[in-house]
Amino acid sequence: MQGGLEFKTEIELLSRVHHKNLVSLLGFCFEQGEQMLVYEYIPNGTLMGSVSGKSGIRLDWMGRLKVTLGTARGLVYLHEHANPPIIHRDIKSNNILLDESFNAKVADFGLSTSKFDSERNSVTTQVKGTLASI
């Protein structure tokens, strides 16, 4: 379960961004301490699952290129067209979802911050995101 701040951040950010390469938030519920986010259904799992073959779907190189370009388009939208711009801070293959046509959808905005917030706190010693594994 997400912490309260991550939950609130994700609701605030996703309610004001709309792009074909970003997962769409349909609704949320916060009742009696229970938190729930309701997203559009994304049927083909994560990029990690398709690259590793664990999802039963294996992307060829053209499919991987399509996903990479879609992910980049979603990030460009966040960085350059969202108002204020948004920094995701946790891009990884498990946070890239694949729709029915294998288009990339950037997901998991719980650690995101607006560029406005990050400029006010431009120096940080706190690690954000997921640590890489070897």
Positions marked active-site: 90
Q: Reduce the secondary structure of the chain to three states and give it as a string.
A: CCCHHHHHHHHHHHCCCCCCCECCEEEEEEECCEEEEEECCCCCCEHHHHHHCCCCCCCCHHHHHHHHHHHHHHHHHHHHHCCCCEECCCCCHHHEEECCCCCEEECCCCCCEEHHHHHHCCCCCCCCCCCCCC
